[in-house]
Structure 1
Amino acid sequence: MKALKFFFINLFFVVALISCSSDSSDDGNSNVLDPLTAYEEFNISYGNDSDQVFDLYLPPNRNADTKTIILIHGGGWTTGDKADMNAFKDYIKTQMTGYAIVNMNYRLADANNQPYPMQINDITTVVDYLEDNENYYTISDDLGFIGVSAGAHLSLLWSYAFDNASQVDMVCSVVGPTNFTDPAYLNNSNPILQEVLDTFGIDMTTEFLEEVSPYHQVTSSAPPTILFYGGQDPLIPTTQGTDMRDKLAELNVTHEFTLYPNEAHGWIGLNLLDTTIKLHSFIETHM
């Protein structure tokens, strides 16, 4: 009788153990962050390179519909850091509290590493990481992009040509290059403009320049796009903005365009306030 009792006690513990193991692995529910509280994590690694890291900011009271805004810094594809996007991050955290934020670094180009497709691949890896962990973080797979300068170019290019799952709800370009076949680049002796073009390396064929140009990759299914440019920008010809605007209009893609005639490669004061108000409204409308 004692042996039988011992057998049933052991059987109970085995069943309980199996049951607990089953519960803990079911949809990963035992390993999910509390969606009611805010969560921040810095320098999350998504690759082997030291630049392949991002910061994550999750809002409180999030759910499976919470969308993520990805911030992509500028720096001519060769320099820059996610800290350069802290003003955008801080604004979204305090004024648009329903969104998750990813502020990412990406591998920087040098003599041995061209920016394309390396940096586009980094964005894809981050997007895949978020999708793989959306249950853990309690977020949706819907995205928005805000990029500045080279980061704006990468944001547009990924959204137009590499968003195979149609995850992007909106994309913002602040002074981003859009068309490397623009005569303002190709026929200009300005060394600053030539440096922008030369960054992409030895393949300067028209086919390659079109491949890396959002202007040539955009289609009628592109996500809503908002563009901001300065009329006195020494790095980005005005036509990079106006031609992109016209192409979006031709394709009937929802878009907004603002040109600040007296601004250069960035601005402060009332024009920055204008950018902030317009971007805020655009995000709330389309995400």
Structure 2
Amino acid sequence: MKKLLFLPFLLLFLVSCSSDDQTEVSGNLQAQTLLNVTYGNDPQQTMDVYLPENRTTDTKVFVLVHGGFWYAGSKEDFSDAVPLLKQYFPDHAIVNINYRLAGFNSPAYPKQIEDIQKVFQFLDNSDYSISDDYAMIGVSAGAHLSMLYAYKYDTQHDVKAVCDIVGPADFTDENYTTHPEYENAAVALLGTTTPTQEQLLEVNPVTHITAQSPATISFYGGQDYLIPTTQGPRLEAALNNAGVYNEYNLYPNGGHFDWDLATMTDMYSKLIPFFQNHF
């Protein structure tokens, strides 16, 4: 995973990365790069904010949520996504977040969802001159958190679109509950190897899908050692049953996002028009 996320398109399009404290003067507002902005009191509650020039209160916002099995990873894993999004969505703002990682006697839930809520509260109350229209892009655990927040906790329906890359979508899936990594996932997320049905449903993205859920695009690998291949179809079925627009993509030879260049390029060729059409 890590910084390979958008590397193929960086190579293909030769897009340059933004530098620290970079500004460009044009029009009414400058483009700004604000790194390590704190949105809470914990040292892990930081985010990078990229604001386009000439932004207004209609400027839409991408929110990037890194993976790492809920107990690892950082926003730096997603840093290569920023130049690509700037290339295709130059009028959008981008927010790349850290969140408090799971640890011993400190499971991911609910604190990581609380951190995402704090991010949105911070943005809504900021002076950045942006809108409250958001799209979320998450990988692995970050995809789970993105779906869970968008489907369950976004009661104002500010999240308009979600990209799920190899994210856990349904913990009640028998292929997941019997998976070798299931207990490790349960400990990281809920702090127990034997979660109750009530606990599972609370953190289960598909459980909270309604007709008002945002458009969703998903990508899964057929050889993923962490996520059963049944997760994608179960997510697709739940979204279809609720009448929510969605696109499901399976790469039969792909692992847990350790995909070859051709597969990655194909993914981007679907992801970019999805946001162009649904965000």
Q: Do both share a fold (TM > 0.5)?
A: yes
Contact 1:185 1:197 in 2 (8 A): no
Match of 1:274 in 2: 266
Q: Secondary structure at the match of 2:83?
A: helix
> How many pairs were matched up?
251
- Alignment-mate amino acid for residue 37 of structure 2: I
| Mapping of residues 61-100 of structure 1, within 5 Å | 61-100=54-93
Question: Could you tell me how far 1:217 is from its partner in structure 2?
Answer: 1.3
Question: Could you tell me how far 1:35 is from its partner in structure 2?
Answer: 4.8
Match of 1:21 in 2: none
- Alignment-mate amino acid for residue 277 of structure 1: S
Question: Could you tell me how far 1:276 is from its partner in structure 2?
Answer: 0.9
Q: Distance in 1 between matches of 2:59 and 2:260?
A: 31
Contact 2:142 2:167 in 1 (8 A): yes
| Mapping of residues 43-122 of structure 1, within 5 Å | 43-122=36-115
Contact 1:234 1:264 in 2 (8 A): yes
Q: Secondary structure at the match of 2:110?
A: helix
Question: Could you tell me how far 1:93 is from its partner in structure 2?
Answer: 1.7
Question: Could you tell me how far 1:260 is from its partner in structure 2?
Answer: 0.3
Unaligned runs of 5+ in 2: 1-26
Task: Please state if 1:145 is matched with 2:136.
Answer: yes
Percentage of identical aligned residues: 44
Q: Secondary structure at the match of 1:238?
A: coil
Q: Secondary structure at the match of 2:219?
A: strand
Contact 1:193 1:236 in 2 (8 A): no
Comparing both structures, which one devotes a greater share of its residues to helix? 1
Q: Deviations over 1:225-279 (max 9, x none)?
A: 0000000000000111110011111111010010000000011311111111211
CA RMSD of aligned residues (A): 1.4
Q: Secondary structure at the match of 2:207?
A: helix
Contact 1:174 1:227 in 2 (8 A): yes
Task: Please state if 1:128 is matched with 2:121.
Answer: yes
Unaligned runs of 5+ in 1: 1-33
| Mapping of residues 221-260 of structure 1, within 5 Å | 221-260=212-251
Question: Could you tell me how far 1:131 is from its partner in structure 2?
Answer: 0.4
Question: Could you tell me how far 1:221 is from its partner in structure 2?
Answer: 1.0
Q: Distance in 2 between matches of 1:126 and 1:197?
A: 25
Q: Give me the TM-score of the superposition, normalised by structure 1.
A: 0.85
